[in-house]
Structure 1
């Protein structure tokens, strides 16, 4: 039963961000087919943050009308909405509309808004729901949340999305000078996108299937407390029978004194429980924790995703694929590490956040140098950018998991406000990056004709 609940919690966690993470890993293919091109990531970050009306509504209801919002019904509603949105993306993602004389992928962007509302709202509903289960399942949930980026990444890698090659497109200019014919030729490099192994439509249908698994897992998780309660009652009944038999036997035998081993064990267990429950934080520490949540999520959900194409694509499509896939693998790996090596020290978490920020700064610097980043035509450049993205995601994912575990031990409201802080950080990051990327054009794209001098 315990293993089954762990499995259900993991599958339930994958549905939290699997749809949006799926869009991010599919970007190498989407940017080549949608009219927004390299600006698409910045559009996505803004649309995702506009969808914060969902978690804002849930948070306000929790604050001003506590107990009025049925959490289970909300989760059922948003998961079903996620399934429908993924299916609609599969059918309409390429539909475009002319707006202000510019072609836009309106169907894709509108459906993405509703899909984003699903994933954003999961931050303030999925975690609080896990409060109904034992604390040991929260880490398993975070592992599933990490897999929500890893599984679409594996599918995108198998799809071969966005793989490109440079082809010589030769043109010949003939000019006649006097009575002699002078033929001069020049070569121009052309970027060709290789066809994927399977279509984007199939990819979106696979995302819908993952959301279906999430719905099924949640259905059974809502039954788990009842099952556990029945099992607990049976265990208590068995213990009562055993204790009754032992009491009868002891009463029939000679009178014995209290069992010192039993008293010691009960004392130690009680002390351990008391220590766990009495662990609390000061106001300044809680402020630091929530600021850390805002900062980490502004980096991972808003700032760096907006420039990933500029940071990775100049090193080639393979480097981009490895960055997207391996960094998504770093997320569940960090959750596994948090399960076996939990460290609640706020100082350590602050240091790890600083380390992750340093790797993020390197990624941002390479994006700012696009289309000619450091070590562009060197294997070391490819290795460094991949390692930097992996460590950036891994270290900050560990910080997020440990903060979730810390707040899980506080109370229900702590997790709700944690979800709100997650969305606030994501919103701030997106609002900062959108004008930088899409309005002021600070970052420059690269193609096969880009000439760099070092």
Structure 2
């Protein structure tokens, strides 16, 4: 049963960020029906994208991808609300399943990346193309042939229609997993079954009996304190000072801004100057680093705030290197060296891995504190994502602070 719940929690987690990360929304009320609505909207949006992603309509004399933009908004709504609904729901399960949920959340980035690689999305090669040009010399015009390298994108192995259907299937799997998770024994149910010789069903999560004694409402049954064994107590709520809690929430906001807003905006600028292979390896391996970091957190958990702070500092350092390389695009350091390729790939993997570990352990710490602490975790995760997006959007899309690189036609000094 524990293995099954781990599997369900993992599949459930894959639906949290499977589409996109983008918009900030107000905190929704935590109800089971809210999650059903959120996931159902994601399923419908992915299905509609499969059919309407290339639909355009004229607005003010200009053609726009209206269907794509509208459905993208709804997918953003789904993914952003997942942080403040999925995480608090996991409070109802035993603490050991929270890390499994984070593994699934990491897989929500890896699985689409692997599907896109299998599809051949963005895979290109350099081709030597000849072009006939007119050459003028001594008042005579002659035709000549000029050879130049151009980027040629390989045809996809399957269509965008199939890709979005696969995304919809993942959301369906998330919905099914959530359906069965709601029927798993809750933490408060398990604790009462352990504490008392007969099963006591409480009316709500908030009716946990803190000391194992008293009367369950509506049941008329009193659980004696003497039935509590040495290993049969509730998970102890860990107390943290205001300063420590502020530090944890600050880490969540900072890490989320880097991983969800700032650095993803410049990954192509930092990797494409080293070639398409380096770009795809960094994107795929960094996506793999997320669930792997969650597994490490499950096997080697650490609640040391000093360690989490040090890992956040290290991850920020790797992110700073990635940002510096993006600023140097299209001619960064070690561009024509295998060391440059290896360093940028490793930097992206370590950036994602270290900060993913921090996010997981912060969630575990707050889970041991209270239900509302996880709600604030999700809220500040989205706040950090919002701040990162607000910072990077004008730099990338308005002021053109970063320059794209076409590896095949680069003219950089050796």
Q: TM-score, normalised by structure 2?
A: 0.86
Unaligned regions of 5+ residues in structure 1, if any? 21-44, 59-68, 240-262
Q: Deviations over 1:202-236 (max 9, x none)?
A: 11110100100110011111111279959975996
Query: What is the CA distance between 1:386 and its match in structure 2?
Result: 1.0
Q: Following the alignment from structure 1 to structure 2, what is the Cα–Cα distance between the partners of residues 219 and 383?
A: 43
Question: Is it true that 1:197 corresponds to 2:197 in the alignment?
Answer: no
Q: How many residue pairs end up in the alignment?
A: 386
Question: Is it true that 1:375 corresponds to 2:334 in the alignment?
Answer: yes
C-alpha distance 417-198 of structure 1, shift in aligned 2 (>3 A): same
RMSD: 2.7
Unaligned regions of 5+ residues in structure 2, if any? 200-225
The residue correspondences of 1:34-433 to structure 2 (distance < 5 A) are 48-49=22-23, 52-53=24-25, 56-58=26-28, 69=29, 71-97=31-57, 104-175=64-135, 177=137, 184-225=144-185, 229=189, 233=193, 237=197, 269=231, 277=236, 279-433=238-392
Query: What is the CA distance between 1:57 and its match in structure 2?
Result: 3.8
Query: What is the CA distance between 1:424 and its match in structure 2?
Result: 0.3
Residue pair 2:92, 2:186 contacting (<8 A) in 1 also: no
Q: Following the alignment from structure 2 to structure 1, what is the Cα–Cα distance between the partners of residues 180 and 329?
A: 48
C-alpha distance 197-234 of structure 1, shift in aligned 2 (>3 A): same
Residue pair 2:30, 2:88 contacting (<8 A) in 1 also: no
Query: What is the CA distance between 1:399 and its match in structure 2?
Result: 0.1
Residue pair 2:92, 2:187 contacting (<8 A) in 1 also: no
Matching residue of 2:202? none
Name the SS of the counterpart of 2:312 in structure 1. helix
Larger radius of gyration: 1
Greater fraction helix: 1
Query: What is the CA distance between 1:320 and its match in structure 2?
Result: 1.4
Q: Following the alignment from structure 2 to structure 1, what is the Cα–Cα distance between the partners of residues 300 and 139?
A: 83
Query: What is the CA distance between 1:185 and its match in structure 2?
Result: 3.5
Residue pair 2:237, 2:368 contacting (<8 A) in 1 also: no
Q: TM-score, normalised by structure 1?
A: 0.79
Q: Deviations over 1:242-295 (max 9, x none)?
A: xxxxxxxxxxxxxxxxxxxxx9x956x48xx68x62531110111111111000
Residue pair 2:318, 2:348 contacting (<8 A) in 1 also: yes
Matching residue of 2:5? 5
Q: Deviations over 1:155-210 (max 9, x none)?
A: 11211210112222322334465697755442233221111211222111101001
Name the SS of the counterpart of 2:301 in structure 1. coil
Q: Following the alignment from structure 2 to structure 1, what is the Cα–Cα distance between the partners of residues 241 and 187?
A: 37
Q: Deviations over 1:132-163 (max 9, x none)?
A: 11111111111111111121122112112101
Q: Which is bigger in relative contact order (C-alpha 8 A, separation at least 6)?
A: 1
